[in-house]
Amino acid sequence: MEQFINFVKKEFAHVWRDKKTLLILFGMPVIQILIFGFALTNEVKNSEIIVLDQAKDQASQQIIGRIAASRYFHIQSSVMNKEKIEEAFKQGKIKMAIVFPAGFNETLLHQGKAQIQILADASDPNTASMLTNYVSSIIQDYLNSIDKTAVIPYSIVPEVRMLYNPQLKGAPNFVPGVMALVLMLVCVMMTAISIVKEKETGTMEVLLVSPFSPLLVILSKAVPYLILSLINVASILLLSIYVLDLPVNGSIVLLFAESTLFIITCLSLGIFISVKTDSQQMAMLISLMGMFLPTVLFSGFMFPIENMPYPLQLISNLVPAKWFYIIVKSIMIKGVGFSAIWKETLILGSITVVLLAVSLKSFKIRLA
């Protein structure tokens, strides 16, 4: 046991000495929380648009005024002809163009029916449909305002309630995601690489011939990352509570217990990769391309899993981060207890056991 503690101390010294890596290790969650919390938003706002007003009358100016006042749009200086519109689209300067035909107001007043043309850049289809929706409702509002006297009969008024996240903040969605991502990164990549590095430089053999169980050698490499990861979990939670105003609705103890389980899953994955590879570059490529991207994709925090084709949905079940994401979301946001997440916990636990068993087995084969 004393020996083991000495080994852990040695590994800690390694991690501690590399200040650049350490800085990034602890800086990563902070930056991610900042980016997700303040820079990225799923809302569409301040979209650059262009208006071609061939009417220049009261009605067109009023509608343009309403559009300009909306936070969804930013109108660029108006243009005079359609060729300019095409050019602006191709230079990526605008996302939408609105064209008012000549005599817009007059047609509206006399015929009670006028046309507006909207050209949307559908290379980004979601933004295009949202923007079109926004313009439609602005125009609808305008119509209602000029026609105040008319009472609209038979109206259905939908009343929308946003559950859990009334301000539609991104935080409830991404904080659990960032947690999964950072833990995955620190544990899988760092352990895999630090073990493979010992293989590459030949120091692994020195450790293996020592009268010390090879299993403990590997474990001692994992312990520092386990502790670093728990510190990261704590810092993410603190940031989320105090900077993003997102409290933990469920039990913090349960959250830490589940995080520890997930960290162990990741460490096993890292050990597994390190057993299977011989060079740092290979270990890195596998943990990065093979583990990181799938984590981003299949955990469900950036992309809805139910939108994926069925085979991918099946694959997503193999990604540990998916289960952890569900668990964290349930505890943090919905505030449920263990009874609601025992299934996910069980799955995560099984994945861990399988990974550990397989890597231990191939580790022994290598030694023999």
Partner 1 sequence: MRTIRFLLEKEFRQIFRNKAILLMIMVMPVMQLIVLPLAANYEVKNINLSVVDHDHSSYSQKLISKVTASGYFKLTGYNGLFKEGMKLIETDKADLILEIPRGFERNLVREGHQQLFIAVNAINGVKANLGGAYLGTIIRDFNNDIRLQLLPPLKFDGATVIEINSSNLFNPLMKYKFFMVPGILAILVTMIGGFLSALNIVKEKEFGTIEQINVSPIRKHHFILGKLIPFWVLGNVVFTLGLLVSWLVYGIVPLGNLVVLYLFASVFLLAILGFGLLVSTYCDTQQQAMFIMFFFMMIFILMGGLFTSIDSMPEWAKIVSRFNPVSYLIEVMRMVILKGSSLRDILPQLSTVGLFALVLNAWAIWNYKKRN
61-80 residues near partner 1, rule: CB under 8 A: 74
Which residue number, 280 or 352, has a Cβ lying nearer to partner 1? 280
Indicate which single residue of 120, 179, 218, 321 sits in contact with partner 1 (rule: CB under 8 A): 120
Indicate which single residue of 33, 51, 55, 114 sits in contact with partner 1 (rule: CB under 8 A): 114
Distance, CA of 179 to CA of 39 (rounded, Å): 18
Distance, CA of 268 to CA of 359 (rounded, Å): 8
Indicate which single residue of 128, 187, 188, 271 sits in contact with partner 1 (rule: CB under 8 A): 128
* Contact set for partner 1, span 149-168 (CB under 8 A): 150, 153-166, 168
Indicate which single residue of 282, 347, 356, 358 sits in contact with partner 1 (rule: CB under 8 A): 282
- Segment interacting with partner 1 (CB under 8 A) among 209-217, 238-246, 292-300, 360-368: 292-300
Distance, CA of 199 to CA of 167 (rounded, Å): 51
Contact 27, 110 (CB under 8 A): no
Contact 251, 328 (CB under 8 A): no
CB atoms inside a 10 Å sphere around CB 140: 10
Which residue number, 103 or 356, has a Cβ lying nearer to partner 1? 103
For residue 35, the Cα-to-chain-centroid distance in whole angstroms is 10
Contact 210, 61 (CB under 8 A): no
- Segment interacting with partner 1 (CB under 8 A) among 4-12, 203-211, 268-276, 281-289: 281-289
According to the binding rule CB under 8 A, does residue 2 interact with partner 1?
A: no
Which residue number, 27 or 65, has a Cβ lying nearer to partner 1? 27
- Segment interacting with partner 1 (CB under 8 A) among 133-141, 243-251, 261-269, 354-362: 133-141
Indicate which single residue of 27, 65, 247, 337 sits in contact with partner 1 (rule: CB under 8 A): 27
- Name the residue type at position 304: P
Sign of CA dihedral 238, 240, 243, 247: negative
**DSSP reduced 3-state for 41:** coil
Indicate which single residue of 51, 67, 108, 254 sits in contact with partner 1 (rule: CB under 8 A): 108
According to the binding rule CB under 8 A, does residue 115 interact with partner 1?
A: yes
Token pair recorded at residue 93: 């300067």
**Least spacing, CB of residue 32 vs partner 1, in Å:** 7
According to the binding rule CB under 8 A, does residue 20 interact with partner 1?
A: yes
**Least spacing, CB of residue 110 vs partner 1, in Å:** 11
* Contact set for partner 1, span 312-351 (CB under 8 A): 312, 326, 329, 333-334, 336
Token pair recorded at residue 69: 């006042």
Distance, CA of 202 to CA of 199 (rounded, Å): 5
- Segment interacting with partner 1 (CB under 8 A) among 139-147, 202-210, 225-233, 261-269: 139-147
**Least spacing, CB of residue 282 vs partner 1, in Å:** 6
Angle at the Cα of 273 from the Cα atoms of 268 and 274, rounded to 5 degrees: 95
**DSSP reduced 3-state for 52:** strand
For residue 90, the Cα-to-chain-centroid distance in whole angstroms is 30
Token pair recorded at residue 25: 């290790």
